[in-house]
A and B are shown apart, each in its own frame.
Chain A
Amino acid sequence: MSKIICSAAIRGAHKIVQRAEAEYQAAMEKWGPDQEIGFPNTAYYLPIIYGILGIGVKKLKDAKDVLDRCRSLLPDMVAEHVWLPYLAPALEAGMATFFAEEIIEAIRYLESPDYYTRTEGPADGNIWLGAADDVILRKRGVEFVDGTAPGFAAILGAPPTKEIAVQLAQELQEKNLYVFMCSDHEGRKMSELLVEEGVQIGWPTRLVSFGPEYTAAVFAMGFATRVAMSFGGIKPGDFTGNLIYNKDRVFAFAMPLGTVTDEWYANAAGAINWSFPTIADTPIPEILPTGICTYEHVVSNVPYDQLVSKAIEVRGLKVTVSEVPVPVSFGPAFEGERVRKDDLYLECGGPKSQAVEWVTTRDMDEVEDGKIELFGPDVDDVEEGSRLPLAIVCEFAGRKMEEDFEPILERQIHHFVNHTQGLMHIGQRDITWIRMSKAGRAKGLKLKHIGSVLHAKFHQEFGAIFDKVQIKLYTEQEKVRESVEEAKRSYEYRDARIEGMTDETTEMFYSCTLCQSFAPSHVCIISPERTGLCGAYNWMDCKASYEINATGPNQPVEKGECLDPKLGQWKGCNEFIYKASRGAIDHYSLYSLMHDPMTACGCFECVAAVLPICNGVMTVDRDYAGMTPCGMKFTTLAGTIGGGLSTPGFMGHSKYNITQKKWISADGGIKRLVWMPKSLKEEIGHRLKESSERVGIPELLDMIADETVGISEEEILPFLEEKGHPALSMDPILE
């Protein structure tokens, strides 16, 4: 921690404690030790003292112990030649500061009962509200718990102008934050500036003017401390519990505006105990390493137009966007809406122009959340029935953002754009195709609104995995071409990365229990090389799903000790399966059809079945309605093996999985595949070809029979013999 800050904070704390002691002494003499003191209408006494120390200060004499504690907490003043101190003494000094300030404010209530209004808003010309009573605490604290108000900004001092004051207040309000104000800078006070500009202040507008002095900062801290006791069930005196509750749940920060005095430093140091960082407009020293707070502790010299966004970032606060700001309706009901030729106003992509959508990750300081830019003409600049090239580039940044989330976020663009009335979206990546209808345009829809939609929806649905997103739309041919090139490089990199992942090098698999509503004992284990049998979830999707929703159906499964590398059984997986199937299934293999295959829910894209006479395996997908060589159609197979059972000789799997290396590898892998429907063969043909080459039988594809060869084992066997299918010479599949 910065030595300068620590020294200043400790200096400030000494001053404040001394002041408290002096005022206390005077009060004792005037009122006597049994005089009752406290904040109005609260069961929490002086709340910081009560919450942290467990001492309920009811009478003047009760404050004596507290002041003694302040003294013992106060570190010595820092001498010039000493390199220390570090964080701990400053934090203790900060704590002592708050205890002392609560006593100062309690004495103020005693000495000048009308100093504060004791109301929700300004009254009789007095704008200083003082401590929140318990009614306000309950009513407003609820908002802290349910997230309607994620936290507060404690502002000390004031910005240089009224305009900046109003702008800051509005910006904080827009983020649903409470603004707690106290103290002054060169006589200017934030609250007064707002009032002068005609801004309504008070609890109902979330602009709370606590008091004119720096000591009123304890009303903010006391509020946070009481929230933990009132809503978190934290007992008085459980200071660790209280501080951790605040770190995890109350998104607050200190925002000193103006010269940071020793007293302000002392208060800021105190707030760090609650994990509330300090964001300053002046060039004070920074404390960037993390430790107590979620991220940095003190960030300084921030321009006014960036103060709020910086504060939000440093405190780790998530942006919430409740409305999708477009002039047309938005919702899943419009997903299927078509924009036909006759309704068409503007077309981007498709057969006759180029369009691309691309999600990428940038550094935090390269992204300004909510910034939406269009380079090139928008819809109003072109004639009805026009075409424009289009590139949609979404730049994400976030402390939890990973490049692995890019494809998952990118796939959402399709849905979000489609949910917009008047827009139709087809395709993905560099084959994107967007149409805007005349009706949509008539309602004021612009291409730029695509950016607004994406910004709002990304925050609403995926806010957990990123902090900021800005969107750039290009409609100039050259720019679009450049974006396409850049995106293509990124696609290639991603594809290669996914392909390159193996089960061996991955410690964490994921579960999926989405289907337990109808297949109660079914648990999918999804590894990089065994994608979900429904085809909808691969390992990466599950990982992202878990990041977004930690209590959802996709949970991490530490695979643990490998019990059988050939069959694909791990201790950790089996334990998880046992628990998640509620005792119904205690183990299965990821790589085998014959030995304890994975359970099947019913949503599988394909079913593989053993063909004993051909010594091989067939697979059939949902779209093929005819008879198969195993004597059962897809629907019969589905009915036989679905419902959460492990059925040796049969297995549900995705289409993609067929060409993954681990597909029934324990039984011989793709070399066992003797029959599949023609349409499926064509659909995955090119990947199948690659797999064939991988196993050293490039002509395998032509050896696999389909319904044109036959739909019984007897019919296809001669074909297999003629082609010399490798399965025929493998070990017997039935032991």
Chain B
Amino acid sequence: MALTGIQIYKLLPKTNCGECGVPTCLAFAMNLAAGKAELSACPYVTEDAKAELTEASAPPIRVVEIGAGTKKLKIGGETVLFRHEKTFVNAPGIAVLVTDEMGNEEVAGRIDRFKRLEYERIGLTLRADLVAIKSVSGDAGRFEALISKAKNETDAGIILMTEDPCVMETGLKVCGDRRPLIYAATRENIEGMATLTKKYKCPLVVKGKDLDEVAELTKKLTDDGLKDLVIDSGARSIRNAFEDQIVVRRGAIQKKYRPLGFPTIVLPCEMTDDLMQETLIASVFVAKYGGIILLSDLQGHSLFPLLLARMNIYTDPQRPMATSPGIYEIGGPNEDSPVLVTCNFSLTYFIVSGEIEASRVPAWLLVADTEGLSVLTAWAAGKFVGDAVGISLKKCGIMEKVRHKKVIIPGYAAAISGDLEEELGDWEVMVGPRDAAHIPAYLKEWSA
């Protein structure tokens, strides 16, 4: 059972020194309880307290970091089986595979797409995270060359794939400073891989023929002092891999079974030859507990949906996603186009902008800052009220962009129309439909 904020507070120095970054020990304790702070931020905590807190706060699934610098990827650290219970914390890393048997062009294409395919969405940058470099030939030189190329061309995290410790060491010499993920230790090579892992201080994948073997190997490695492990259950059929992911997650969370308390890696690239199908398989493991998902290739048409799936599943269900406030042009509006206003709850924004687009009526959409709340909630919380919306309208510059003086507000916010008119002076406030689906019909009728 995790400690409550008050229980943690009792173990802290209670000095309210503020050196941890928040003003009080109580606030710091609440952050610790929520997993939003690290105990190391407190310079004055006693050793005894530290021991007690570390034990109590260790997540059932270890957080493993791969890579270095700004592109460092964190996986694991999950505490629930279903996202609505709290939230899924660390989104799975998406990796693309290059091998030393691919032609130069194939490799270059993959690395190029890896770098290029990047999408902005409600303030987030969506992209793949890792390049997996696999030695198929067993030739250390070719492996080394490929790693150098990848390392020079991207600053992404790297997965090194070979079960030969000698070849692996060649690779680690090249990119060990980037804290690559070593793939993989098996029953056969475990000593060699363990040695390398210690030497280069990198995370390590443990691959077994089944979960029993995995658990046996991770136990051995943790006894040996290695903690940053990642699990490959060895399953390559979708059904078995799916089941293994669930067993690992449940074992760690429900049973606190430490040998399985690590993030996982899944390999859709080894489950099919068809990229469409492969990407779809990947989405299964986005939903069901994959830590790293390794793909044979990335294409715009395949990566984008997968990234959306990952964004959706890993959204904090208790915190609405927000679009950045401001004025949005839809369909090339001009000075006679209608002006609509809505909240910055991202779902509302998507739906409203989608419907405006579907109407084919060019329009201006003002997204007011409602702290990510929906129209009704924001209205109830006093964040979508006449003066606030009025000020946004005045500040965003729309008044200089249109000739008319009309603004359309959401039907659910009809109550603010009077206040808003007062705030805006000679502008006319029109009450739009309640349901976004009726926006197209409304706009087609609208005239300035």
Binding site for B on A (CB under 8 A): 332-338, 424, 518-520, 584, 594, 602, 609-610, 612-613, 622-623, 627, 629-632, 635-636, 639-640, 642-643, 647-650, 712-714, 734
Contact = CB atoms under 8 A, between A and B. Distances in A.
A441 to B, nearest CB: 19
Nearest to B319: A639
Given A622-B381, A631-B22, A649 B16 contact: no
Interface stretch (B129-137, B239-247, B415-423): B415-423
B414 A610 contact: no
Contacts of A424: 418
B14 interface: yes
Interface stretch (B4-12, B143-151, B178-186, B198-206): B4-12
B5 A336 contact: no
A631 B318 contact: no
A433 to B, nearest CB: 14
B255 interface: no
Interface stretch (B26-34, B64-72, B95-103, B219-227): B26-34
Contact of A336 (B10, B381, B414): B414
Given A333-B431, A712-B24, A612 B417 contact: no
A242 B53 CA distance: 67
Given A610-B6, A632-B30, A712 B16 contact: yes
B84 interface: yes
B332 interface: no
26 contacts: A332-B411, A332-B414, A334-B414, A335-B415, A336-B417, A337-B417, A338-B417, A338-B422, A424-B418, A518-B317, A609-B26, A610-B26, A612-B9, A612-B26, A613-B16, A623-B382, A631-B22, A631-B24, A631-B28, A640-B30, A640-B34, A649-B5, A649-B6, A649-B26, A712-B23, A734-B9
A643 B411 CA distance: 28
A631 B27 contact: yes
A713 B16 CA distance: 9
Contacts of B34: 640
Nearest to A622: B381
Contact of B14 (A332, A584, A612, A650): A612
B16 A714 contact: yes
Contact of B24 (A520, A630, A639, A734): A630
B411 A333 contact: yes
A99 B260 CA distance: 75
A332 B413 CA distance: 9
B4 A649 contact: yes
Nearest to B87: A643
Contacts of A623: 382
B318 A519 contact: yes
A629 B417 CA distance: 38
A333 B6 contact: no
Contact of A631 (B26, B84, B371, B381): B26
A624 to B, nearest CB: 12
Contacts of B84: 520
A631 B10 CA distance: 16
Interface residues of B, number: 38
A224 B440 CA distance: 47
A96 to B, nearest CB: 57
A336 B418 contact: yes
Contacts of B9: 612, 649, 734
Contacts of A333: 411, 414, 431
A640 B26 CA distance: 12
A630 B27 contact: yes
A243 to B, nearest CB: 44
A632 B414 contact: no
A626 to B, nearest CB: 12
Contacts of B419: 336
Contacts of A640: 5, 30, 34
Closest 3 CB pairs of A and B: A631-B24, A338-B418, A631-B27
Contacts of A609: 26
A713 B319 CA distance: 30
A338 B421 contact: yes
A712 B85 CA distance: 34
A424 B415 CA distance: 11
A650 B319 CA distance: 19
A647 B4 contact: yes
Contacts of B422: 338
Given A336-B414, A336-B416, A713 B4 contact: no
A649 B26 CA distance: 10
A350 to B, nearest CB: 15
Contacts of B5: 640, 647-650
Nearest to B14: A612
A606 B420 CA distance: 27
Given A337-B417, A337-B418, A338-B418, 19 more contacts: A333-B414, A336-B420, A336-B431, A518-B317, A520-B85, A594-B6, A602-B318, A629-B24, A630-B24, A630-B26, A631-B16, A631-B25, A631-B28, A632-B22, A632-B24, A632-B30, A640-B30, A713-B16, A714-B16
